[in-house]
Chains A and B, each alone.
Chain A
């Protein structure tokens, strides 16, 4: 414990420096792997952009979850439902009206910003709806209610009933199982046009032709979007840090430690919990929007519970209760557990090209028994890395819960006091407030 603590202290720049150092390490590893794979510059930049994207979204989701679980002790396992509501409502509001060009179902045709705000508001409202019955009860009831809610959301968007309907005199809809096409203005373009920087952005894209001769725009778009996401991470980090240090945040921490005590001090804990829950849900809606806004289309089956599971692993790796830990956990999860196995697959595929990987488990195992040939099983394993990576994540989660439930930085409690409590170390650390997590689940 103390080793990590010292490490974080010794890195110049404190927490932010630590995060940057980890990120640089991750990127270096990816670039080296790219070199080993013989990627072109275009491929390298692309893989960096994809990695940045996932680091950004998982860090943000872990931050939002940390507000729920780490600060307030609310066990939310319906994250993906709030994300779905965010992007779907945003699409509904911002898609151009039916009949103006696109063949698909229309939307209300309002500006993107309005759509984003509406999506976040809808996610927050859904959060309030879920929280009202469940917050008064045990933590595991909230878990069951939230995950049930996230599945209800998915089935609702899948259903044919809401495929198309009338709203404010417009023919709108959620597209059922085939999903919605996000045919609004390219968010990047809207973003830069808003600041009047679109032309200069296009100029920068053209400048990239020096490095990438043909069609550099998708690559630059990806990179810039990644940077924008990291900017959002920074804003969210700052926002949640401020929230945590505010009187509001102190009450949340008090609720996490002992709700009865907070209650007896005259705090209406239910109101605080609902507010914190709604804020976190709105942020999850925002991440849902940021994740899918540029992907062109959304289908309901993207929002399977596994995404929630990813975010939980990210938070637990980083350590719940710590914002720095959340960002770190998001980055480590995205780099090692989420993108890592796919990279390994690519590496193996380059070293040993396997044109004839068996299509199912039977043909993969049969040669092992008949003539001790493990290679088909090996190729099948490599080929189905996307399923096995979930198995691996499950095992990682079990291991973490057994051996390090506090994660990388979770032992660092952010103290509720506004002034430093220790003289030698100005930073609030675990030793300051001695209270252990617990007592929130009753």
Chain B
């Protein structure tokens, strides 16, 4: 009986959700290919291990930056296309602080504040890194968070609040305007060059079967910062009234207002939390990859959207898990397809999710 029932249920599932079945099949085939490749020695364990590690790091950045996007998406009901440029703004402001502290007395203050615009100062020669200049990096993280909070609040006040009651698309178009204004203002100030920001961080090999996965100090810093911030957000939303208020607002704003929830204050809190996390994510992203350009945030934004949709809009755990999934997809896809298409693979995953489970993995669990 058990077998027959399982069979019937399985058949019903296959008929109702052919996409899910297909997706599972494709996943299984890829996994089988990977395992057989590992077994036959076609892929080396250390190579795959490095890719997984790289994907996890990328995923942490995407997930951390995605929390803010997911929160504003569910509470203010619009896709904020300026989010990527908040990331860039956080990165530039934080790195300006880091450069200033690490290089004061050794280079022109203006050049330092402009993060070496026009090749006037290089992060490598200043010896910037978690181990080399820990105070400068810490100051940079704080500055990135604070400046981005300020920026997010300012933009909300000037651009989004006057049309708070407009529909999502109006706000979305406005956010595109904000994105372009911000991005090219940053290009105007910091110029369009992509600069190296860090010196080579110390790394140590982790031995894995047939080789080594190299882990460096900046990876560790990213894990520590992103992990602790994610935990902090989790506790904040679980243990405080704010979390409850945010869930209520995401569910039904009018009802929340009637119940006495100060909706504008909750919105401000959302921008503060989201903006701070976004700014720090931007800073850590640059610390991890070692280069900084004015397009970085925008290019990351599309991956973040993929992560947020994958995880389910409004769920911070969804954003984190979605971020890790998108990061791993982008990194591991080079095993099967040319590296130019890693981004395309991440988007393909998003599109498949839209087809199969448009509400996302963690659907319905808004904000907490």
Contacts and interface: CB of A to CB of B under 8 A. Distances in A.
Interface of A: 75, 77, 133-134, 136-137, 139-141, 143-145, 147-149, 151-152, 155-156, 158-161, 305-306, 309, 312, 316, 359-362, 365-366, 384, 387-388, 390-398, 401-402, 405, 438, 441
Interface string B57-85: 00000000000000000000011000000
Contacts of A395: 177, 181
A306 B189 CA distance: 19
Contact of A143 (B166, B172, B187): B172
Contact of B176 (A77, A159, A161, A402): A77
28 contacts: A134-B354, A140-B168, A145-B354, A148-B302, A148-B305, A149-B347, A151-B343, A151-B347, A152-B343, A155-B343, A156-B340, A156-B341, A161-B340, A306-B180, A309-B180, A316-B173, A360-B191, A365-B110, A390-B180, A393-B181, A394-B180, A394-B184, A395-B177, A397-B173, A398-B159, A398-B178, A401-B173, A401-B174
Given A152-B347, A360-B118, A397 B174 contact: yes
Contacts of B189: 361
Given A159-B338, A309-B176, A398-B174, A366 B309 contact: no
Contacts of B167: 438, 441
A158 B178 contact: no
A297 B305 CA distance: 33
A134 B309 CA distance: 12
B351 interface: yes
B340 A159 contact: yes
Contacts of B302: 144, 147-148, 151
Contacts of A133: 351, 354-355
Contacts of A384: 188
Given A139-B168, A152-B343, A360 B117 contact: yes
Interface of B: 78-79, 108, 110-111, 114, 117-118, 120, 159, 162-163, 166-170, 172-174, 176-185, 187-191, 298-299, 302, 305-306, 309, 338, 340-341, 343-344, 347, 350-351, 354-355, 358
B177 A401 contact: yes
A161 B343 CA distance: 15
Contacts of A396: 177
Contacts of A405: 166, 170
A360 B188 CA distance: 8
Contacts of B78: 140
B187 A387 contact: yes
B101 to A, nearest CB: 18
A182 to B, nearest CB: 23
B306 A148 contact: yes
B344 A155 contact: yes
Contacts of A156: 340-341, 344
A143 B170 CA distance: 13
Main SS of the interface on chain A? helix
Contacts of B176: 77, 309, 312, 394, 397
A144 B117 contact: no
Contacts of A388: 184, 188
Contacts of B169: 75, 139-140, 441
7 smallest beta-carbon distances between A and B, as pairs: A394-B181, A159-B340, A397-B177, A394-B180, A360-B118, A390-B184, A398-B177
A144 B305 contact: yes
Contacts of A394: 176-182, 184
Given A77-B176, A145-B354, A397-B177, 9 more contacts: A143-B172, A159-B340, A161-B341, A359-B118, A360-B191, A362-B120, A391-B180, A398-B181, A401-B170
B340 A160 contact: yes
B307 to A, nearest CB: 11
Contact of B79 (A144, A155, A309, A392): A144
Given A391-B180, A394-B179, A401-B170, A361 B355 contact: no
A144 B162 CA distance: 24
B163 to A, nearest CB: 6
Contact of B354 (A77, A141, A391): A141
A141 B78 CA distance: 11
A84 to B, nearest CB: 14
Nearest to B354: A133
Contact of A361 (B188, B306, B338): B188
A362 B177 contact: no
A200 to B, nearest CB: 46
A362 B117 contact: yes
Nearest to A160: B340
Residue among B176, B183, B299 with the highest chain A CB neighbour number at 10 A: B176
